[in-house]
Amino acid sequence: MKVVLGIDNGTQSTKTMFYDADTKDVLAMASAGHDMIAEDDGTREQKAEWWIEALISCMDQVDLDIRAAVQAVGVSGQQHGFVAVDDSGKPLYKVKLWCDTSTAAECVEMTDSFGGEDKLLRETGNLIAPGYTASKILWLKKTYGELYKKMRWVLLPHDYLNFWLTGRAVMEYGDASGTGLLDVRNRIWQEDLIRSVDPELLDKLPPLIGPDESAGHISAEAAARTGLPEGIPVSSGGGDNMMGALGTGTVADGVITMSMGTSGTLYGYSEKPIIDPEGILAAFCSSSGGWLPLLCTMNCTVATELTRDLFGLSVKEIDVAGAQAPAGAEGVTMLPFFNGERVPNLPKGKASIMGLNATNYTKENIARASLESAIFGMKIGLDRFRELGFDVRQIRMIGGGAKSPIWRQMAADVLGVPVLIPKQAEAAALGGALQALWMLEGGGETKLSELVETHVGIDERASCEPDTALRGAYDKAYSSYKNWLDVLAPQYQ
């Protein structure tokens, strides 16, 4: 057996996948949940210690013989979270997450200090968005200066898990591109921007490594606490979107992955950097040797979960309710900005339901509007991909939304392209496992393409073709969504 372990540190939970690359079998999977600290000012935080507890819980759920057979580990982590650690590796403060919008003022401060948005796009390829790591670093410096002075390393969530497993601080350039501090064209730190935050900050950023390199080896302490063999290699790892791209086969032009989880993401592989002058698509690097332009919305299943709770519906029942309303929900439109929003850039945004009247005010229409709102957010990104020259031939859908037949078909109908469902739903964990396998087998982009083709399968029964008969209804509903957005967005500036 050639067993590799994929670890996925997500917002809601940590998952582990033990994968036999010889037989293409998942030998075991486990998960353990995370809490979240949420405040009205947009604060969204977790404690890094919770992630370690969750990881150990996952490992303890799996037979020791399977753990002992692992030959390499790959870690996927939620992007953008800021883990400040001291010399001993101890976290100095809670982790401000990707969905934390409380540092919007620091984004403006950093942008102005560096010379404006045009210069940021020219020098780094990205704007300083509230979700990114950069403004969180400045926030800690301003708010907890004494803790900041003790900081040895700036780590991202997957970096922190790598550090805990190996004792080595490194950062893979795919995930690093989500800090807002990387020159994504050249995959190097943008030193002038970093010094504008703190002249000494550059020394606190870990060395950058490539996606097929090793982050280190399992330490004796980590081996004792996890049951993994001491000394086996840990691959570079990457952000959950980068690992999701590997786990869905998004390693070639023309394929787009759409992840429908707490957040909604849409990303595609590119052989060259894609810099969006409007800042709708983030200009990230991939963890496969190329680039990964990406749209991220902060509210996806958030809208359906809250709507479900409001009406006391199960997951299946909200799908049934939504299916009983027609496309366009009889004019009911939802802007689902329950957590603020990243695209459009409305960190102070609020959720709204519009278009209600005495006849369309039904549970079914509101349920459908919550489902449609997430897809409309994705359409903003898909339209931008096309405007920037992408030939989008298919979408590979993952996340909780991919389990919903109505959502899958709705995505195909609204976006106008086939929606394919990977056989392995936990794409980020599989991506981590495949990256570990890639590293074991020597790296190289040709080898990665071969591995993806071999190990990533499509569930043909769950995949969907667009229903062209609904195009007119959805075009009208999307136009209404955009009109309401134009009207209400100024209220949240």
HEC states along 357-369?
CCCCCCHHHHHHH
Residues 153-175: what's their mean pLDDT?
Answer: 97
On the question of pLDDT at 476 being above 80, the answer is: yes
Q: What is the pTM of this model?
A: 0.90
Per-residue pLDDT tens digits for 29-53? 999 999 999 999 999 999 999 999 9
- 185: number of Cβ within 10 Å: 16
240 tagged catalytic: yes
- DSSP strand E in 175-228: where? 182-183, 188-189, 208-209, 214-217
Whole-number pLDDT of residue 253? 77
Q: Coil, strand or helix: which one is 93?
A: coil
- Contact criterion met (CB below 8 Å) for 132 and 80: yes
**Domains 3-241 and 249-422+457-493 fall in the same CATH topology:** yes
CA distance 328 to 389: 29
Q: Which of 175, 183, 240, 319 is catalytic?
A: 240
Residue 252 — pLDDT band, cuts 50, 70, 90? confident
HEC states along 283-332?
EEECCCCCEEEEEEECCCHHHHHHHHHHHCCCHHHHHHHHHCCCCCHHHC
Whole-number pLDDT of residue 1? 86
Residue 326 — pLDDT band, cuts 50, 70, 90? very high
CA distance 234 to 277: 36
Whole-number pLDDT of residue 92? 98
Q: Rounded to the nearest 10 degrees, how much is the dihedral formed by the CA atoms of 332, 335, 338, 339?
A: 160
Residue 447 — pLDDT band, cuts 50, 70, 90? confident
| Domain covering 249-422+457-493 assigned CATH 3.40.50.720 in the classification | no
Tokens of 105: 């003022």
CATH of 3-241, one of 3.20.20.70, 3.30.420.40, 3.40.50.300, 3.40.190.10: 3.30.420.40
Task: Say what percent of the chain tops pLDDT 90.
Answer: 88
Per-residue pLDDT tens digits for 148-158? 999 999 999 99
All structural domains of the chain with their residue ranges: 3-241, 249-422+457-493
**Any idea what the Cα angle at residue 244 is, between residues 241 and 249, rounded to 5°?**
130
Residues 175-204: what's their mean pLDDT?
Answer: 96
Per-residue pLDDT tens digits for 272-310? 899 999 889 999 999 998 999 999 998 989 999 999 999
